[in-house]
Amino acid sequence: MVAIKNPIFVQVGADANFNAGTNTATFNGSNSSLDLRGLNLLPTRVQAGPLIPGVDYSWNAGTGVLTLLQPGDVFAPNEYFKFEFDSYQSVEQYAGYVGNNFQYRHILRYSIVDQSGPTTVKTDYERRCRIEFNANYLKGVASNDESYIGIIHMAKPAQVIPEKTPVKVYYEDGTLLSANVVRQFRIGYLNARAWV
């Protein structure tokens, strides 16, 4: 079970292994750095917003290595990051959390593939959610390709799910409820939503 950890703000240059001008940072406790191993890190650039896993960054929870993936992207001097931790990867972590069990009564499963390194890394995710079916078209899009059948609601903090990611939603007993791909993903004030 991943330990629940409150969000933290970290400035580039303030941590021993978080240096400007590089595209990697290691948070493994060495050199008196933060030790974030074993946690599912959700980084946000304070001035720019959430980063997309497998597109903007990769995170290795085993080694504690955060890597920026965009060509030429490096950590800027004195740049601030907000680190949130998605602790909702297993149903067991919701034991006793009656409010979320009631509101988020379905189970969302998906995988994100990181092909940025020498080897392909596939990470499987599972978290509680609630899907509401309401077929419609995404605003500003007239194409049938951009229609959606429902909206998946998730608690915050939430990892960004890239568009076109296949997702499956299950009842708590394991029965499949919906299988589709993400058309759009947004993190709002109260929760996160994926249009599928």
Q: State the residue range of the domain holding 123.
A: 99-195
pLDDT at 122 over 60: yes
Residues 110-141 as b or e (16 or more Cβ within 10 Å = b): bebebebeeeeeebebbbbbbbeeeeeeeeee
- Predicted local distance difference test score (pLDDT) of residue 74: 95
**What's the number of domains the chain is made of?**
2
Q: Are 106 and 150 members of one domain?
A: yes
pLDDT at 142 over 60: no
In this prediction, residue 89 has a pLDDT band, given cuts at 50, 70 and 90, of very low
Domain's final residue, options 52, 85, 118:
85
In this prediction, residue 138 has a pLDDT band, given cuts at 50, 70 and 90, of low
Cβ atoms of 131 and 169 within 8 Å: the answer is yes
Distance in angstroms (rounded) separating the CA atoms of residues 193 and 180? 14
pLDDT at 108 over 70: yes
Q: Are 52 and 75 members of one domain?
A: yes
In three-state secondary structure terms, 184 is strand
The neighbour count for residue 38, using CB atoms within 10 Å, is 13
Q: Are 61 and 108 members of one domain?
A: no
- Predicted local distance difference test score (pLDDT) of residue 88: 40
Residue 132 per-residue DSSP state: E
Place of tokens 């400035």: 11
